[in-house]
Structures are given as structure tokens and as C-alpha cells.
Amino acid sequence: MMDKVENKPAAPAKAPAGLEGVVAAESSIGDVDGANGVLIYQGYDIHDLAEHSNFEETVYLLWHGRLPAREELEAFRRALAENQTVPEEVMDFIRRFPRDAEPMDALRTAVSALAFYDAGARDLSREGALRAATKLTAQLPVLVAAFERVRKGGEPVAPRPGAGLASNFLHMLKGEPPSEREAHIFDVCLVLHADHELNASTFTARVVAGTLADMYGAVTAAIAALSGPLHGGANTNVMKMLLEIGSPERAEGWLRDALAAKKKIMGFGHRVYRTEDPRSVWLRRFSREMGEARGETKWFEMLERLREVMFREKKLYPNVDYYSGSAYHLMGIPLDLFTPIFAVSRVAGWTGHILEQYANNRLIRPRANYTGPRGLKYVPLDER
């Protein structure tokens, strides 16, 4: 029997392109004040967190809505360490991935496979979902580093118990522990990327979680959303742009040509910020520091030239992806891992939003403003 079809629903207002300005969730996790360039996580200013916090504490804050006491933070660090072992079957699967696979595709596929080996994956209670969130946060860095090792013909490096997630990731990636300063800079990068309100991948995660699908499915979908060049993929493209430009002297001419050809310049512009992205203030500092430390300041000089010209010509500010790539590049991280690294951090926000969605769920099912014809008569194939 057919459902009664509402043929002429009250016409919804025309959807704003890209849902700009639409409020689609109630959330206490993070907020972006685009006019004033302010980003907060659970009430705390991002500058305060970048200055004083660390990734593990920030994850706790996003999930629990408050900063942990010392014992709570220690217990959380232990839980992450106990949950960072990736099932051997998934490691074997990664060994069979094509070596030229996009690392974001490898990560998406591996995360999806993790669900096979978590018997509690379908437990969507707060406790069960927190367990899955802990596993995902602990294992994403292991997966990214493992794929990098394997595609270079090596073997994954085991995480060191007791080391922080940032330091461990760099160690697993390169096979040697990073300097303290490098680990710190990377840790702050993770803090800066951990959440950003209802960005495209977080919205994706909430839509999937809203169907009461499990956390692995929601995070897999979020990784797919993050992979696009208009979202997390921009950081890699900024570095590709710098490599193409080659030297600071060429920056202005290159940019003018690109703008004349109506190209979108990666790392500029934002749907919400109308002023400087507060995260880019920190990343700019790190890009400069890493350049000076490595005696390779040309990337930063190019970025600064491009920034000046872009502001003059288009009044656009750099976004979070603008400076991060150069800092990662100077840490010796391959370009195509920049977006997976974004995921290693953003999984904190995704899972925080999924927890929030489960706690007060209603299926997310908006309407489309139908613009096609109605009442057409079906024409049999032979008569068309």
C-alpha cells in the first residue's frame, strides 16, 4: 500500500546556498564567533587552551564539558594507552592496501574495518559510546602512521606507553622520538584542530549518528567529508601551491595570475570567519619558528607575501589550513598526510558531537525545496 503523498507541501523557504547561516543543532561543544574571530571549546578560549592545555586534556574537555582533575586526566591517558592497540587483522588489511592509495582513503577504510573487531560497537549508551570514542581517538594516529610505514616498505612502529599522543604519533611516523619542542608544537596543532562547531565533517558525523548508526560509521563518513579540498584537503594544497611557486619573489606574480584565472586560492576564506581565524595566529607562529629552526624560511616568506597580496586584492584572511602545512612539511611529514593528521585531531570533536547527538537524539531529516516538474505522465520505453 502506498503512503499518502503530500503533493503540495507548504513551500519551504528557499534553502540558502550551502546552508549558510542555518542553525542545525544545539550544542555546548564549541562555538565560532566569525565576526570577532573567537573560537571556544566548552567555554574556554582557544588561545588559552593553545597556551596552557594539551590534546588529551582538550579531548576530555570536549567529551565531558569540563577540564579534568589530575587523577581524571591520568586515568584518561591510561585509557588511551590501553586502547591504542589496533587489531592485528586491521594491520594485516593495511599491509594489503595499494601503496599508492590516498592516505585519507586508507584511513577511512581502516576506521570502517575497526568496527568488525569491537564487540561493543553497537552499544550507543554514554558509557559504550565513550569507550568507542576512546578507541577511535587512540587508534587513528596508529593507523595513519602504520600506513605511512607500510607504504614505504617498512613495518609499523609500536606506540610507546606513557608518551603523549602527539609525541607518539611523530615517533611512530618517523621511527625516532621527536624533540620536545617539535612534540609540543604538534600537540598544540592537535588542540587547535580538535573542534570547530558544525563544520561539514562534524555535521556529517551528526547526521549519521542521528540515524543511531554506530560511532565507527559516523566517523568513517566524517573522514570522507574531511577529505575534500574545500574542507580538510586544503592544507595539502597550500603546500603544493608553495612548491609550485618555488620562491618568495615569484609569489605576487603567481597569485595575480591565479586570481585573474578566477582560481580559488587554497588556505584563504571561510564560511564563518570574517576576520582572522584565531587558530592561524598560532600556526603562523609555528610556521615561522620551524622555518627558522630548519634554516628554511622561504615557505614562511612566501606565505606572508601571498597573505599581503590576497588581503589587498580580495580582503580575504588565511584560514586554519594556510600555515599548518608548512609547519608539518618542516617536521618532515609527507604532504598527503596533512589531512589525515587533521582527522587524528578532529576525531575528538566528531566523537564529542556524536556523544551529544546520542544523548538527545532525533533523526536529522530536513526537507528539500523541490524545483522539478510534477504530474508527468509515465511514457513506456518503446514510445520515448
Give the footprint of ligand COA on this chain (CB under 6 A): 18, 230, 234, 264-271, 314, 316, 319-321
Please state the closest distance from residue 235 (CB atom) to ligand COA, in A: 8
Please state the closest distance from residue 20 (CB atom) to ligand COA, in A: 6
Please state the closest distance from residue 317 (CB atom) to ligand COA, in A: 10
| Cβ partners under 8 Å of residue 33, min gap 6 | 39, 40
Nearer to ligand COA, 156 or 267 (CB): 267
Residue type at 144? Answer: V
Please state the closest distance from residue 13 (CB atom) to ligand COA, in A: 19
Asked if residues 114 and 136 have their Cβ atoms less than 8 Å apart, the reply is: yes
**Cα→Cα distances 354→14, 26, 276, Å:** 29, 12, 29
Please state the closest distance from residue 60 (CB atom) to ligand COA, in A: 25
Nearer to ligand COA, 118 or 197 (CB): 197
Residue among 268, 320, 197, 273 nearest 35 (CA): 273
**Cα→Cα distances 257→254, 260, 314, Å:** 5, 5, 14
Q: What is the rounded CA–CA span in Å between residue 172 and residue 149? A: 8
Q: What is the rounded CA–CA span in Å between residue 125 and residue 131? A: 10
CA angle 164, 355, 209 (to 5 degrees): 120
Count of residues making up the chain: 384
Q: How much helix, strand and coil, in percent to the nearest 5, is found in the chain?
A: 60, 5, 40
Asked if residues 317 and 311 have their Cβ atoms less than 8 Å apart, the reply is: yes
Residue type at 173? Answer: L
Nearer to ligand COA, 130 or 281 (CB): 281
| Number of separate helices (H) and strands (E) present in the chain | 16, 3
Nearer to ligand COA, 86 or 205 (CB): 205
Helix (H, G, I), strand (E, B) or coil at 217: helix
Nearer to ligand COA, 267 or 340 (CB): 267
Residues involved in catalysis:
270, 321
Closest-by-Cβ residue to ligand COA is 269
Nearer to ligand COA, 63 or 282 (CB): 282
- Grid coordinates representing 91 are 594491520
Nearer to ligand COA, 22 or 230 (CB): 230
Residue among 332, 321, 324 nearest 288 (CA): 324
Asked if residues 162 and 81 have their Cβ atoms less than 8 Å apart, the reply is: yes
Please state the closest distance from residue 313 (CB atom) to ligand COA, in A: 9
Please state the closest distance from residue 353 (CB atom) to ligand COA, in A: 17
